[in-house]
Structures are given as structure tokens and as C-alpha cells.
Chain A
Amino acid sequence: MNFKLIAKRLSFLVLVIWAASTIVFFVPRLSPRNALRERFAELARSGGFAPGDIEKLIANMNQQFGLDKPLLEQYWTYLGNIVRMDFGYSLNRYPATVTDIISQALPWTFFLLLFTTILSFIIGNLLGAISAWPKSPRWLRGIATPFVLLTGVPPVIMGVLLLFFIGFRLKLLPLGGPYSIGIVPNWSWEFALDVLRHQMLPALALILGSVGGWVLSMRGMGVTIQGEDYVNFAEHKGLTGGRIFRDYYLRNTLLPQVTGLALALGTLVTSALVVEQLFGLPGLGQVLNNAIRSNDFPVIYGIVLFITIAIAVLMAVLEFIYPLLDPRVRNQ
């Protein structure tokens, strides 16, 4: 990988972030809704405001947030703020900043997503590779089938089923929440274990639904690769089955799957947000949901923008990893 390629990819990343920020900036301004006005109208309904006061308050607020300035000037200020990762203040929880709110919720979403994505990628691809490999034992091939059957069950439905059977009927795992009520968060093994127990069902809901997809695409790929001349020649060379499977078959079947992972990231984030909500985890999903309900526009835009940037960065990272896996794209 050369310097020029890295520079090219990074500038593309900046371009994506700029485009996303611009869309997030202009689209709400095209809408006739006014966050401040709606906010004060709501307050006014609970009484104690004269109509003239509200206009004054709005004008005051507009000035304070710089909303009375020309659009272009607002845009430049906004871009400057984005660079500093400053998404403004939450209307609902003022004076908390959007960045504060996101960074508080982020760990929950990040670790849930990280582990479920990695686990389902590994499990799904391994099972897919095994089920397409003609020499794998029959019982091992059978493991993939239930996962394939579960493909397409939305993670939310899966979550409800898991909650009902494992959480409610069998009482094996807690029904929801980030950790048990009454425990004060601290750095102890006990607390960590408690959090882990609460993460099991949401993680399972996400993994069960997504493993099958990897199995199917990997199996298709595996059938193609096992007929390749280099896999045959590897057997002619007298290599052991395990080595052929690992170095000749698996390594080549994984290449398109890594691309698939980059493409799947977006969907994964979305389903994670919904599942979090279902299990009452205080992650980005819950924050986003609350923000939408209370018209907390800065938080909504902040999260949308943040997720866009995160996915763009992850895709760029995967793209940097790809040449390490496939030498053929190294010099392009």
C-alpha cells in the first residue's frame, strides 16, 4: 500500500463526512418546522406565557444560537463546529451538549455492536465454509441449518421471542436494563458479570438473525472456490486437509465476505438501535428515540451525523485491511 492511495482514501473519507454534514445541516432547514417555536409553544400550553414574550424569547434564543445570521455564515460556523466534534446543545437537557450525551450512550452501543458483529461474522463464515467443504463431517455441516432457517427473522422479533422464553418463562437471564436495579456502577468483577448477563439476550437477538446471512453467502462462495484449480493442486501436492481448508480455501472465500462486512455495517447499526430500545439499554438507540419524541433536533442530527461518520470511518478501515488480505489489489 502506498502513500498516494492512503491520501486518496482519506480525502474521500473527508468528502463523505462533509457531504453528510451538509445534508444534515440543510435538510432540516428546508422543513417548515421550527424546533424553538415548537418547544416554546409546548411550554406555553402549560401556562404562564404572554404571546409577545414567546416571540421575544425566540428572537433571543435565535440570537444566542446564531440562527439570526445569514444561512451561509451559519453553515461555516457549523462546519467549524463539526471539525471540533461540537454538535451543539441538547434542547431537552440543556446545558448538556450533544457530544456529552452521545459519549455517555456510545459505549453501550459500541460494545454491543462490536461483539455481535465480530461473533456473527466469525460463526457465520466458519459454518458457511464448513458446510460447503465436501470433506467436513456430516454433523458439523448440520449445525449451519438452524441458523439459515432463522435468517430473515428481524432482530426485534427475535428479541421478543428470547425475552419471552429465556427471560420470562425460564428466567435464565434478566429481562432488560443495563444492569440490575440497586447496583451502583463500579469497577468490580461482580458488576462486569452483571452487565454481561444483561447484554446476553440483546447480543443473541442480533447474532441469531445475522449468522444465517453469512452462512448463505459463504456457502455460495465456498462452492465456487473449492472447484478452483489451486485447491485441487493443493491436494495433488499432498497437503493435509486442514491446511488446504485454511490456507487455500478459507482465505480465498473470505475475501468477498470482508467487503460484505463493510456493506453490512449500516444495517447492523440500525438493527442494534432498535434492539437496544427493546431491552432498555441506555445506548444511542434509546437516546435517539427520546430525542425524536421530544423534538430534540440537535441530538437527532448529532446522532445521525455521528453514525454516518462512524460507518464511513469503519469502511475506510476495512478498505485499508483489504489489501493485506488480497495482494492483487495492493498495487491498484
Chain B
Amino acid sequence: MNLATTENASSRNAAAAAGPILRVEDLVVTYYTDLGRARALDNVSFTLEAGMKMGMVGESGSGKSTLALAMMRMIKPPGRIEGGHVWVGGTDLQSLNDEGMRKARLSKIAYIPQGAMNSLNPVTRIGEQMVDAIKSHLSGESRQAINDRCVWALKSVDLDPGVFHMYAHELSGGMKQRVCIAIGILLRPEVIIADEPTSALDVVTQRQVMETIDKVQDELNSAVILIGHDMGLMAQTMDRVAVMYAGRLVEVATVREMFTDPKHPYSQALISSLPTLENRGQFKGIPGLAPSLLRLPSGCAFHPRCPLASDRSRSEKPKVNVLPGGRLVACHIYDQES
């Protein structure tokens, strides 16, 4: 298998103490479609410490959003979580019952949605949508405490507390996104997943939103996972970058390592496809297309597009290697080094 199984026993005990706040182990999600089984997440494992920001990149359909939904246990039929664990602090979310999971959402692990434009109920005030989130977790909270919490959250995302009394259609796109962040932090979650929180915004607003996320993370010391396509944004704001391909995590490295010395051939191709100031006019794409999850290539899913593919790549699924410095790479090239 991979890293998770080898480390399982030892790290499970350590997690309760000062280890990573988030541990995802062997997460498997399958969609049962009319056309066949699509394995959207294939044994994804990683860890994240409190106060760390990890960017999650990959092509459309590589499983980034599925990973986020699986961590929230929000995969809907025909999709199914078929295995794995998501440890937040000392709790395995997969072992909770439905009511336990409902309570864990927002209070332990919060999700900031992709479509912030439409993520707020158009017919109720922003305040009501914040209050009902608090009330459904902290039923004994006093009115004053609820109010203080909302004001604190709105101030944390640099919004005027007056937004409390407004409706979604009275806010700009950036403000709506910040309201979503404010709702996400209401219960001081240990893990925050932001699914492309800046995708529908202009660059100036993108920067403001990212700074807001930075700021609230400093305040809460949560672990943040940011899902997105924007490599520039990742380079500027993240501590660590994870690359996904066809439902697998192919590489996890610090931002510096990823951008200066990517290890996985896919990451290498991804990084070298980025436009630079030096070679203007030249664009180096990655040949081929992302594979369909219904008909994954044998062995390493990237082998048909990989310049370094070997016979072994075609026949054997690479395991995740742990390189010195804690980097994770799922490629046969590094099998000896680990």
C-alpha cells in the first residue's frame, strides 16, 4: 500500500498530542455511473499541521473538489466514500454517525464554497444565516453571545457589522465571498477547506479575499486547504502545494520545492507550462488530455503523457514515496530513494 498504512499505528497515537491536526488516510471515493465505476479518489493520504496552508492543484476532474466533499462527508449518490479515514484532532470523521458529522461540520471542519455568488440564501438576511449556523451547533448560547460571535466574525473578514442586517443581493461578489468566510470561521474550526474561493472574482478582490483567509487563519491557527487552479496564487499565499492527477495525490511539497524543483513528471510539466517573463511568446503545454476516470490507463495513470514512462509505469501503480524532507511523490522513478 502506501505511506498511510506504514505510519498508521504509530501516528494515530501521536496525533492526539502535538502531531498534525488533519490526517487523511487512504480516502477512496467511487462514483457509480451508468457508464461504469469512476474512482474519483484513489487512496489519498496526507497530513496537515495547525497553522499550515496547503494548496491543492490539478486539472478539472482530478478529484480536488471530490476530496473536499469527501472530507466533509458530503459526497452525494451516485458517489460513495468506500474507505479511509479523516482525522481532525483526535476524531475520525468517518466513524461518526450522521448527527455527529452534522455537528462536526463547521465546528471542526469548515467548508468555504466555490460558488460564493450563489451560496447565500437570497430571501433571508445575512444575520439569520449566521445565527442559524451557530444555533444548530451551540443550542445553549445566549443571544448576546451569538451576536458577539457574528460581529467578531464579520470584523475578522473586514466587513462592517451592518452587513448582518443586509441581504445577499445587496452585497458585491467580494463581500459575499467574505461573508462565506465569516460563516466558515464562526465556530473556530480546526480545519478550513476553501474550494476555489477566488475563482469568480477579479484579481484585486482575489487578493483581498486571500489576505482575509490569511488573517483569519493567523487568528484561529487552523489548518487551511485551498483548492484552486491558479498556480500564481498558490505560490504567493500557500506553505505547501499538493498536486492531484486522476484521483491520486501525485506530489506534496513545500511551495519553494514545488516551484524550483518539482519531482513528479506531471508536476514538472505543470510547473514548466507556467508562463515566465523570460520566455515570452513561448507556451509549453502538457501533451495529451487528462484521462477519463471511467477508463484509467493501467499502472500509473499519467504514463501515456509522461516523457519518462517506463514499462513498469504501464503495468504497476506507483506507491507514494516519502523523500527526504517529508516530500511525497507517487512515481516509480523515486522508488529506490525512499
- Judged by a CB distance under 8 angstroms, whether B60 is at the interface is no
Per-position 1/0 for B107-125, Cβ under 8 A of A: 1001101110111111110
Are B105 and A237 closer than 8 Å at their CB atoms?
yes
Q: In the complex where A229-B113, A229-B115, A327-B167 touch, is A238 in contact with B121 (Cβ < 8 A)?
A: no
Pick out which of these stretches binds chain B: A119-127, A164-172, A248-256. Answer: A248-256
Are B167 and A243 closer than 8 Å at their CB atoms?
no
Which residues of B (115-147) have their CB < 8 Å from a CB of A? 115, 117-124, 128, 132-133, 136-137
Which residues of A (246-276) have their CB < 8 Å from a CB of B? 247-248, 251-252, 255
Interface size on B, residues (CB 8 A): 31
Are B107 and A252 closer than 8 Å at their CB atoms?
no
Q: Which of A228, A237, A255 contacts B136 (CB 8 A)?
A: A237
Q: Which B residues touch A236, using CB under 8 A?
A: 72, 74, 105-106, 110-111, 113
- Judged by a CB distance under 8 angstroms, whether B322 is at the interface is no
Q: Which of B76, B102, B114, B123 contacts A238 (CB 8 A)?
A: B102
Per-position 1/0 for A209-235, Cβ under 8 A of B: 000000000000000000011101111
Q: How far is the CB of A141 from chain B (nearest CB, A)?
A: 16
Are A237 and B167 closer than 8 Å at their CB atoms?
no
**Central interface residue in A228, A237, A247, by most chain B CB within 10 Å:** A237
- Judged by a CB distance under 8 angstroms, whether B103 is at the interface is yes
Q: Which of B76, B136, B169, B183 contacts A240 (CB 8 A)?
A: B136
> Which residue from chain A places its CB closest to the CB of B136 in the assembled complex?
A239
- Judged by a CB distance under 8 angstroms, whether A325 is at the interface is yes
Q: How far is the CB of A49 from chain B (nearest CB, A)?
A: 69
**Central interface residue in B102, B106, B119, by most chain A CB within 10 Å:** B119
- Judged by a CB distance under 8 angstroms, whether B28 is at the interface is no
**CB within 8 Å of B: which residues of A?**
134, 228-230, 232-240, 243, 247-248, 251-252, 255, 325-328
18 contacts between A and B (CB under 8 A): A230-B120, A230-B122, A232-B113, A235-B105, A237-B105, A237-B106, A238-B103, A238-B106, A239-B102, A239-B132, A243-B132, A243-B136, A247-B132, A251-B124, A252-B123, A325-B123, A327-B169, A328-B169
